[in-house]
Amino acid sequence: MHISSAVSETKVNTGWVSMGATEWGDRSLQAHEPLFHEGDETSHFFEVLEGVLCAYKIFADGRRQVISFAFPGDLVGFGHGSAYRFDCDALSRARVRCVPKSSILRAIKERPDLGERLLDAAAGEVAHMQELSVLLGRKSAIEKLASFLVSLSERTSPESDGSAQVALPMTRADMADFLGLTVETVSRNMTKLRVMKIIDLPHSATLEVRDMARLRALADCEDNLY
């Protein structure tokens, strides 16, 4: 468990709220271990400390839509009422800090500035979901993929002169279900980006962005070239 003071600390720009308080407890997850299921009572918020989580909705007929990937620093649990409305798994070994909802509500009452920060975090979550809606509704397969890779590299890897190394902790199926595509379409467009010399794939789980400007142009729908 992290050593931390009783004073909470917030980085609103990146959307996370870190709260030090040992009473809240951490939890370790194996790869593919569920954190919660749709329908479970919403007892906690979770802050990812290590690893990557994946929140998704599964239909009765097997269709799946991934709602978000949560990286260290991200907060999971917004948008649910008294019961979780989606499933959430760990993609890899992960550690999360569990924050009881009641504890959050108490903290807000005692420390109004915390409420403001949580509100900012919630606003960031809204912004993310809005961007996802734009992506799902109006972007082509290659634009979706480009957007995803840009967002991933921004969240996890520093860029240097137009290139970046990015780990892909999720499978093609996870990516497909996030982007509203099939694995085949994801794979085909990965290859397309590689042929265009925009990215490279040393391993299937390691991405190298070779031309970030071009990738961004695709992500922003400013490039119709195939």
Partner DNA sequence: CGTGAGGTTGATCGCTTTCAACGGAGGTGG
Partner DNA sequence: CCACCTCCGTTGAAAGCGATCAACCTCACG
* Interface residue list for a second copy (CB under 8 A): 57, 59-61, 63-65, 67, 78-81, 85-86, 105, 108-113, 115-116, 118-119, 122-123, 125-127, 129-130, 132-134, 136-138, 177-180, 221-222
Q: Which is nearer to a second copy, 11 or 109 (CB)?
A: 109
- Residue 61 near which of DNA, a second copy, none (CB within 5-8 Å, type-dependent): a second copy
Name the residue nearer to DNA (CB basis): 103 or 171.
171
Q: Considering CB distances under 5 to 8 angstroms, the limit depending on partner class, which of DNA, a second copy, none binds residue 129?
A: a second copy
Residue among 180, 200, 208, 210 that touches DNA (CB under 7 A): 180
190 binds, among DNA, a second copy, none (CB under 5 to 8 A by kind): DNA
For the CB of residue 70, give the shortest distance to a second copy in the complex, in Å: 14
- What is the SS3 assignment for the chain? CCCCCCCCEEECCCCEEECCCHHHCEEEECCCCEEECCCCECCEEEEEEECCEEEEEECCCCCEEEEEEECCCCEECCCCCCECCCEEEECCCEEEEEEEHHHHHHHHHHCHHHHHHHHHHHHHHHHHHHHHHHHHHHCCHHHHHHHHHHHHHHHHCCCECCEEEEECCCCHHHHHHHHCCCHHHHHHHHHHHHHCCCEEEEECCEEEECCHHHHHHHHCCCCCCC
Closest contact distance (angstroms) between CB of 218 and a second copy is 13
Rule CB under 7 A: which residues touch DNA?
A: 140-142, 171-173, 180-188, 190-191, 201, 204-205
